[in-house]
Amino acid sequence: MTKSVFPKDFYWGASIASHQVEGGTVNQWSEWELAHASELAKSAKQRLQHVVADWDSVKAQAENPSNYVSANGVNHYARYQEDFDIAKKLNLNAFRFSIEWSRIEPTEGQWDEDAVEHYRQYIRELRNRGMEPFLNIWHWTMPTWFVAKGEFKKGSNLKYWRRFVQKIADEYASELKYIITLNEPNVYASFGYLTGEWPPQEKNVINFGRVYFNLARAHRQAYKILRKNSPMLQIGVAPALANIQSKRPNNVIDMVATWWMRYFWNWWWLNRVKRKIDFVGFNYYFSDYYKIGKVDNPDAPLSDLGWYMEPEGLHPLLTRVWAHYKKPIYITENGVADGEDQYRQWWLEETTVAMERALSEGVDLRGYFHWSLLDNFEWKYGWWPKFGLVEVDREHGMKRTPRPSAIWFAKKIKSLQRGDLPTKDI
Ligand code: BGC
């Protein structure tokens, strides 16, 4: 191989989600934040001290209640055009974003036409800059009225979801080539209903099962609506998948745990929707090594969040996803919490090499979306973890500054588009 195997039309993008950047969202998460901020600040040390990579460097922020409130976000709702200009300068040719249901339908059955128009303009501004919009319908946040009815716990509530999807189809489908229905149903159902760390903080296996199962139904129903509306639209999903391995590959217990976790975490949900997807999108952050049923990862290198970093673990995962589903693949999220920007370039390099390897083996990989374009609100961790290619200084007018790794990545994208090998200058 003397030339890059990345196709000319490969999508090099970044991903964001409404609640994490827009500012001013009112949904079940924003309500939960206000109710729990002080308690989260008080318990920060006990929860995080032995988890994060460097507690001293995050202590001040993690113990401050305002860290846990999304508030005005990074004001992306107002500043999206400026953010798209930055993305364009970084040589990105695609962008994944989510629609905030609570803005479009703040009251049951009543559409806010200003919000509808906002996202129409948003899509157009991406197109104007030559960036392909990948619209994500649901990234966990929901209007409070839908949550009050029991959200995805009840199959009968899917009628509200279908009405919302129909609205999205009617308003935007004609302007789009790609749509993603749901972000990480496995993470949402697990954290909200199994571990109880996220709203609605239930620890209830039955409700976990209901939500997880109904989210598969929600996808299939959305697919039907969208497909009917526009036969050419490419419709997919974005679960979180992990590169799951045995700590001791010759140990039966570890191998059984690995087999089970691959099935439970990676395949179960995808298998329920595989006949109703045009592509498999997935988010990759983790390699997890299982020992006696528990994750037992190496101690280094760790991201700011204390997550073990193995970017090259993307390769075995890509090959497995391809073997399972034989559909075009998009990596819809991938990135690292790295406030000092000491690992991001390395992460991007290794990720690029992993993708190159998969492509050269025939995996039909069509795009990569980095998480994230901007520093963003990291759910229950709040503001201190920094995932942005672009740093946002929320203390000083939300000033945007591309990190050195982003500048490096922009050059790398150009060189790969020219056909250079990813490893050329490494
Ligand atoms: C989610 C994002 C989140 C990212 C980093 C993904 O699981 O989809 O919303 O910011 O992980 O934690």
List, for residues 147-175, the tens digit of each pLDDT value.
999 999 999 999 999 999 999 999 999 99
pLDDT score recorded for residue 1 = 59
| Best of 20, 283, 284, 372 for a ligand 1 pocket test (most atoms within 8 Å of beta carbon) | 283
Point out the ligand 1 atom lying closest to the alpha carbon of residue 381: 12
Point out the ligand 1 atom lying closest to the alpha carbon of residue 376: 10
186 lines ligand 1 (CB under 6 A): no
- Residues 134-151 have a mean pLDDT of 99
305 lines ligand 1 (CB under 6 A): no
Write out the H or E segment, with its range, that includes residue 98: strand 94-98
Taking only the tens place, the pLDDT of each residue in 109-132 is 999 999 999 999 999 999 999 999
Structure tokens at 217: 């139904």
- Residues 337-345 have a mean pLDDT of 98
C-alpha 350 to ligand 1 mean position (Å): 20
What separation, in Å, do the N-terminal and C-terminal C-alpha atoms of the chain show? Answer: 17
How far apart, in whole angstroms, are the C-alpha atoms of residue 228 and residue 117?
Answer: 23
Point out the ligand 1 atom lying closest to the alpha carbon of residue 335: 5
Long-range contacts of 34-40 (CB under 8 A, 24+ apart): 34/69, 36/68, 37/65, 37/66, 37/67, 37/68, 37/69, 38/65, 40/65, 40/68, 40/380, 40/382
Q: Look up residue 342 and give its DSSP letter.
A: S
How far apart, in whole angstroms, are the C-alpha atoms of residue 317 and residue 285?
Answer: 11
Confidence band of 99 (pLDDT split at 50, 70, 90): very high
Mean pLDDT of the chain: 97
Other CB atoms closer than 10 Å to residue 101's CB: what's the count?
25
17 lines ligand 1 (CB under 6 A): yes
- Residues 357-366 have a mean pLDDT of 97
| Best of 183, 288, 333 for a ligand 1 pocket test (most atoms within 8 Å of beta carbon) | 333
C-alpha 334 to ligand 1 mean position (Å): 9
C-alpha 418 to ligand 1 mean position (Å): 31
- Exposure of 56 by Cβ count < 10 A (0-12 exposed, 13-18 middle, 19+ buried)? exposed
Q: Kindly tell me if the per-residue pLDDT of 425 is higher than 80.
A: no
Structure tokens at 386: 């920094």
Point out the ligand 1 atom lying closest to the alpha carbon of residue 372: 10
C-alpha 353 to ligand 1 mean position (Å): 23
Taking only the tens place, the pLDDT of each residue in 246-268 is 999 999 999 999 999 999 999 99
371 lines ligand 1 (CB under 6 A): yes
Point out the ligand 1 atom lying closest to the alpha carbon of residue 17: 9
Other CB atoms closer than 10 Å to residue 249's CB: what's the count?
10
333 lines ligand 1 (CB under 6 A): yes
- Residues 67-90 have a mean pLDDT of 98
Q: Look up residue 267 and give its DSSP letter.
A: I
C-alpha 187 to ligand 1 mean position (Å): 9
Point out the ligand 1 atom lying closest to the alpha carbon of residue 305: 12
